[in-house]
């Protein structure tokens, strides 16, 4: 069994993947701040033959995790951001400083679409662009929905936005603090994503498919104005592409990859941008 680990600032997500069938056998998540202890929602390491890790947590968290796993598992692969990988050239001046979860998302997105906008809605919301041909432009980092809410300190942190609410409801003026905050942070996030998508596509003269991942992807998806796809396993897919271990992975298949949405005509993007600039 392969253990894939995606250690974010809030949650450490894991999944077990069958080496032979390439099927996902189980999944879970633990708070990144807490130590891994028996009884918590962690995988059984006895069945694990290889581990792949993407981590943006503090260095000590990664070091402790790797030390623990190396004692029990032969092969431990740790992903790093690099200058060039799988046909993509990293847009950062110092490529190693790009968050490795962003790099994994960009690599997976590029493998699937040949050029895209990848958005990761976790503790932070990150928006990255990679053009056809493989040039990564760099991207944007904003506080995620939960961080924005917590920073207001209005006691609304435990009331999450229902991911099934319609965008129209979420755009309405809030009638109480919880609603006002939830609708405000929703608007802040989706307006920024829509606007940056329009801006960059216009500037580069290309219409790109948009891919969304992360704990808040479903909510954010409600307010995205262009065709897009949700890909919960996008970071894991980057690990699969960087360290292919199963037959399917070696053949270039990434698990859970969504149907790629048809990109909108560039002309429509430009009209959308002109319209948003009038407001």
Ligand X SMILES: Nc1ncnc2c1ncn2[C@@H]1O[C@H](COP(=O)(O)OP(=O)(O)O)[C@@H](O)[C@H]1O
Ligand Y SMILES: CC(C)(COP(=O)(O)O)[C@@H](O)C(=O)NCCC(=O)O
Annotated binding site for K(+): 120
Query: Contact between 216 and K ion (CB under 5 A)?
Result: no
Q: Residue 171 binds which entry of ligand Y, K ion, ligand X, none, with Cβ cut-offs from 5 to 8 Å by kind?
A: none
Q: Which long-range contacts link 96-101 to residues 24+ away (Cβ below 8 Å)? A: 99/56, 99/126, 100/54, 100/55, 100/56, 101/6, 101/8, 101/54, 101/56, 101/126, 101/235
Residue 4 found at the interface with ligand X (CB under 6 A)? no
Look up residue 70 and give its two tokens. Answer: 């190396």
Should residue 8 be labelled a site residue for ligand X when binding is judged by CB under 6 A?
Answer: yes
User: CA 130 to CA 158: how far, in whole Å?
Assistant: 35
Told to check if 4 binds K ion by CB under 5 A, we report no
| 124 binds ligand Y, rule: CB under 6 A | yes
Q: Which of 84, 86, 13 is nearest to 43 (CA)?
A: 13
3-state secondary structure 45-63: HHHCCEEEEEECCCHHHHH
- The 3-state secondary structure of 67-108 reads HHHHHHCCEEEECCCCCEECCEECCCCCHHHCCHHHHHHHHH
Q: Is 105 in the site for ligand Y (CB under 6 A)?
A: no
Q: Is 18 annotated in the active site?
A: no
* Segment lying near ligand X (by CB under 6 A), choices 87-95, 134-142, 174-182, 208-216: 208-216
Q: Binding segment for K ion among 18-26, 47-55, 125-133, 151-159 (CB under 5 A)?
A: 125-133
Question: Nearest approach, Cβ of 29 to ligand X (angstroms)?
Answer: 7
List the one residue from 125, 145, 239, 242 that touches ligand X (CB under 6 A): 145
Member of 122, 139, 215, 272 binding K ion (CB under 5 A) = 122
DSSP 8-state class, residue 38: T
| 144: contact with ligand X by CB under 6 A | yes
238 is a contact residue toward ligand Y (CB under 6 A): no
Separation of CA 2 from chain center: 21
C-alpha–C-alpha distance, residues 233 and 13, integer Å: 10
Alpha carbons 23 and 259: distance in angstroms, whole number: 19
Residue 122 lies near ligand X (rule: CB under 6 A):
yes
- Tell whether the torsion through CA atoms of 192, 196, 197 and 198 is positive or negative: positive
- The single residue among 32, 51, 76, 120 that binds K ion, judged by CB under 5 A, is 120
- Contact residues toward ligand X (CB under 6 A) are 8-11, 122-123, 144-146, 214-216
- Contact residues toward K ion (CB under 5 A) are 120, 122, 124, 126
- Contact residues toward ligand Y (CB under 6 A) are 8-9, 56, 97-99, 101-102, 120, 122-124, 126, 141, 144
């Amino acid at each position: 069994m392969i253990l894939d680990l995606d250690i974010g600032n809030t949650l450490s997500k894991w999944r077990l993947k069958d080496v032979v069938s390439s099927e996902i056998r189980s999944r879970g998540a633990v708070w990144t701040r807490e130590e891994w202890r028996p009884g918590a929602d962690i995988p059984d390491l006895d069945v694990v033959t290889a581990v792949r890790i993407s981590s943006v947590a503090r260095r000590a968290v990664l070091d402790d995790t790797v030390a623990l796993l190396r004692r029990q598992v032969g092969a431990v692969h740790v992903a790093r951001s690099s200058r060039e990988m799988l046909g993509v050239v990293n847009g950062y001046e110092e490529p190693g400083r790009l968050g490795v979860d962003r790099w994994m998302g960009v690599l997976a997105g590029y493998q699937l679409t040949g050029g895209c906008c990848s958005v990761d809605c976790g503790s932070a919301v990150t928006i990255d662009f990679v053009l056809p041909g493989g040039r990564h432009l760099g991207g944007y980092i904003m506080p995620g929905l939960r961080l924005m809410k917590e920073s207001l300190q209005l006691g609304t942190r435990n009331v999450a936005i229902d991911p099934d609410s319609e965008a129209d409801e979420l755009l309405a003026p809030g009638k109480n603090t919880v609603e006002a905050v939830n609708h405000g942070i929703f608007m802040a996030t989706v307006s920024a994503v829509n606007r940056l998508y329009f801006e960059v596509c216009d500037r580069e003269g290309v219409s790109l498919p948009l891919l969304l991942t992360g704990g808040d992807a479903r909510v954010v998806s409600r307010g995205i104005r262009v065709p897009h796809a949700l890909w919960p396993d996008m970071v894991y897919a980057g690990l699969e592409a960087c360290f292919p271990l199963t037959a399917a992975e070696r053949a270039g298949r990434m698990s859970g990859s969504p149907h790629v949405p048809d990109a909108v005509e560039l002309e429509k993007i430009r009209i959308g941008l002109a319209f948003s600039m009038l407001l």
